[in-house]
Homo-oligomer: A and B are copies of this chain.
């Protein structure tokens, strides 16, 4: 029986501003990537979101990002790799402390937004950020974009990693995500997202916008939480996979 993890970014509220319906999404996914205060989230939001996740047995992850609240960590910043690695470590340490306060444990780390794209494009950034994670705790799992230099960097470091594919994003032929600025970057139709994920899980590869298939190892599917369709896409993907007999559960270490 095949098993896969569903992950979503959470804890993206900040102060009086709320974002996403974390409580509802936590009933659908099996892992949560918690924003760590640089691009979204604050210490109160982190604790409250982690508490909800722990109560449901969801796998907890730290989701460090660039120091850019206004841009939600989605604007590339020309920050040296060594500084990025320190930022990842700082946020991860904070997340570990907040998780412990609600009886939880950080099991994985996923880079957010522009930081993830920078790491997917630049092996040096990926390696330094991941090395900071593994140096702090070598048992942590790196959640990487499948079939990108991020995965290769995790492999070179000898760390535990799990590849992920995106339910609501279109893929370029090199395995990177179509830029958000592109009109077809996002998949808004829950049925289409579900069909794509069923096909990709069945075939074990990534389907690109041009119709190519890229072989890929992945153990998790990312659904986003900050779009109007987010919840129905997540539910639709979950239902389709379950209909196919796929077991949904938090990932263990790779290979599962």
The count of residues in chain A whose C-beta lies closer than 8 Å to any C-beta of chain B is 45
User: What's the number of copies of this chain in the assembled complex?
Assistant: 4
- Select A43's contact among B17, B89, B114, beta carbons within 8 Å: B89
A105 to chain B, nearest CB (A): 13
Contact B19 A19 (CB under 8 A): no
Q: Using A37-B90, A86-B44, A90-B46 as known contacts, say yes or no to A135 and B101 having CB atoms under 8 A apart.
A: yes
A32 CB–B CB distance under 8 Å: no
Contact A72 B132 (CB under 8 A): no
Complex CA–CA separation, A42 to B97 (angstroms): 18
Contact B19 A16 (CB under 8 A): yes
A residues 94-113 in Cβ contact with B at 8 Å: 94-98, 100-101
Could you give 7 example pairs across A and B, Cβ below 8 Å? Answer: A15-B70, A15-B71, A16-B226, A47-B86, A91-B94, A93-B94, A93-B95
Residues of A within 8 A of B (CB): 13-19, 37, 42-44, 46-47, 67-72, 75-79, 82-83, 86-87, 89-98, 100-101, 114, 132, 135-136, 226
